Structure 1
Amino acid sequence: GPAAMAGWAKAAALTAAAAYGAMKMIEEMRKRGLIGTEEWVEVGTVTTLFVYPIKSCKGQAQEALRLDEYGAVNDRRYMIVDENGRFVTQRQEATLCQIAPSISADGSLKIEAPGMSACTVRPTKRTSAEHPELEAGIWEDDVTVVDQGGEISTWLSDFVGRKLRLVGMSERYERISSRKFTPRRSFGKTAFSDGYPLLLISEESLHHLNSLLSVPLPMNRFRPNIVIKTDGGAFAEDSWKRIKIDNLEMDIVKPCSRCKITTTDQVTGYRDEEPLITLSRFRTRKDVGAPCGDKTDVFFGQNVCHMTEGEVRRGHRVFARRNLFFFLSPMFV
């Protein structure tokens, strides 16, 4: 009847008004730079690059990162495991930070540590009596790996003081990053990193954190692959949904939750309470709009997934597309 028609007309008018209001609000927010546009905007420059050849051991600064389907070449392609094949990190053994691995041009792996003679081995993906294929556990994943032999395992066990072995990716190795957050367009694979192939942090974010700490911390506490000097101020990277470095496009997937490795002095292995206490005051899940994690988690840096192989060099300019809403995954924006 007429009453129903009037009701429908009123509802339609309200809906139209709400839609118009939302459009005007989005337009205003775009003007103010609060939400994203599809245009690339120059946001900074690559200043430092790192690889960590053995998971949870010392990193190596690089002039360039070569990216293959798993991430940066020579980055976390080896991992230390215990007698049960479970991964071992600085969370359990802080002294791993003192082990300095390096990979030479011919592919040999050398490890050094205070008070130890250097140990050099030729890593392999092929199985043999000396290099058996094993199943190893890293977080919730079981992966197929190759034991890297008795010599390097003995060295690690002697240095740390418990039975350990070094394993590498086998020819049958397969591990995908979180399907929930990894954009379908990316490779979606990772080596032995915690969850994603690359980690990005801006110098400005660390500078801001250090301004709140009584003792400033070096970048090595946070173990990034790509460090950027940005024009956008501290935590500008929170608002990026995609970046382009020398025509290599990458997705900013989600903020990186941080553990007690960040509290470990990467020279001495001494553990403190910072920066986790200070980060808990302004970098919680709620603060950063992280799409997952516990209430008590803190976040610093951004997990990144790449789509193509290529090279990132120091000095490369960085372009970004702003995230529509910071809490949305790149899968949805």
Structure 2
Amino acid sequence: MKLGSVRFYPIKSTAGHEVDEAEVHPWGLAGDRRYLITDRDGIILTAREEPALLACVGRLDGDTLTLTGPHAAPLRVTPAAVTSTVDVWGTPVELTDCGDDAARWLSELAGQPVRLKWLDDPARRPVDPAYGRPDDRVSLADAYPLLLTTGASLGRLNDWIVETALERGEEPPGPLPMHRFRPNVVIDGVDEPFAEDEWKRLRIGDVDFRVTKRCDRCVLTTIDTTTYTKGKEPIRTLSRHRNRDGKVWFGINLIPDGPGHIAVGDAVAIL
């Protein structure tokens, strides 16, 4: 098995981009999900509510973030000195506002007043203690530092989606791309689809990871990232084949056991 691709998302719930290599920190990949968007009331806004956010790409050059999108010229972001506390899925986290220019740029894209916030200290937010250790930390990802998927599992899911469509007398859709599931690392060369469900520990290159739990999926996976419209898949088919405890599952969540470096092509070992 080997590491097939690496992807990170500087701004939570916006477009990500692939890289050939990445530094791994205890809270996730370097630069991954250090920014998020809030609405006018200071509540997290995601592409679940505003799919147009997926048209925004945040590009990092050192500590400088540049916003690019189809609606305006690129904008370099400079965090201001103003801080506020944002509820990040049940945990209050102090974040730094990124100023009025970034707010106007993103508000035009989102079609409503929003603010961009920055997590200056990525060691500030703890992992859910039900699945992590007291000193485990996560940036602004939903719950855990990294998400892993496998090419074998996506292949099986795409086959199931075609079967579902044919059974319903529908035109089979094209295969779903992996980026619909927003993984950080994709593993190639896995013998069996969904083998990752049973993994407890693994090593990518020279970095060891703990598996916390399988990843339950939401409607964000149903948004077409070219049209920004919602469909039925993959939730419809996952509900049929991967339903447990009233949720649907695809991928696994990881916590690094220490810092390190990973690169596409690195060997992957199950420990």
TM over 0.5: yes
What is the 5 A alignment of 1:97-136?
A: 97-104=54-61, 106-122=62-78, 124=79, 130-136=80-86
Q: What is the RMSD of the two structures over their aligned residues, measured on CA atoms?
A: 1.4
Counterpart in the other structure of 2:150: 202
How many pairs does the alignment contain?
260
Q: Do the aligned partners of residues 250 and 203 (structure 1) sit closer, same or farther apart at CA in structure 2, a change above 3 Å counting?
A: same
Contact 2:122–2:139 under 8 Å retained in 1:
no
Counterpart in the other structure of 2:165: none
Q: TM-score, normalized by length of structure 1?
A: 0.75
Q: Which amino acid in the other structure matches residue 109 of structure 1?
A: L
Query: 4+ runs of 1 displaced by more than 6 Å?
Result: none
**Aligned equivalents of 1:210 and 1:164: distance in 2?**
36
Q: TM-score, normalized by length of structure 2?
A: 0.92
Q: Do the aligned partners of residues 297 and 151 (structure 1) sit closer, same or farther apart at CA in structure 2, a change above 3 Å counting?
A: same
Q: Say whether 1:261 aligns with 2:223.
A: no
Specify the SS of the correspondent of 2:202: strand
Q: Which amino acid in the other structure matches residue 138 of structure 1?
A: V
Q: Which has the larger radius of gyration?
A: 1
* Aligned sequence identity (%): 32
Q: Shift of the alpha carbon at 1:172?
A: 8.7
Which structure shows the higher strand fraction? 2
Of residues 118, 130, 138 in structure 1, which corresponds to 2:88?
138
Q: Shift of the alpha carbon at 1:108?
A: 1.4
User: Unpaired segments of 5 or more residues in structure 2?
Assistant: 162-171
Counterpart in the other structure of 2:166: none
Q: Shift of the alpha carbon at 1:278?
A: 0.2
Specify the SS of the correspondent of 2:73: coil
Q: Once structures 1 and 2 are overlaid, which stretch shifts more, 137-146 or 218-227? A: 137-146
Contact 1:183–1:251 under 8 Å retained in 2:
no
What is the 5 A alignment of 1:1-333?
A: 44-104=1-61, 106-122=62-78, 124=79, 130-171=80-121, 174-183=124-133, 188-213=136-161, 214-215=172-173, 216-285=175-244, 295-321=245-271
User: Unpaired segments of 5 or more residues in structure 1?
Assistant: 1-43, 125-129, 286-294, 322-333
Specify the SS of the correspondent of 1:117: strand
Contact 1:251–1:305 under 8 Å retained in 2:
yes
Specify the SS of the correspondent of 1:142: strand
Specify the SS of the correspondent of 1:298: strand
**Aligned equivalents of 2:226 and 2:260: distance in 1?**
32
Q: Show CA shifts across 1:165-217 (max 9, x none).
A: 00001349621111111256xx5111110000000000010011011223210
Contact 2:25–2:256 under 8 Å retained in 1:
no
Q: Which amino acid in the other structure matches residue 131 of structure 1?
A: A
Specify the SS of the correspondent of 1:302: strand
**Aligned equivalents of 2:263 and 2:121: distance in 1?**
29
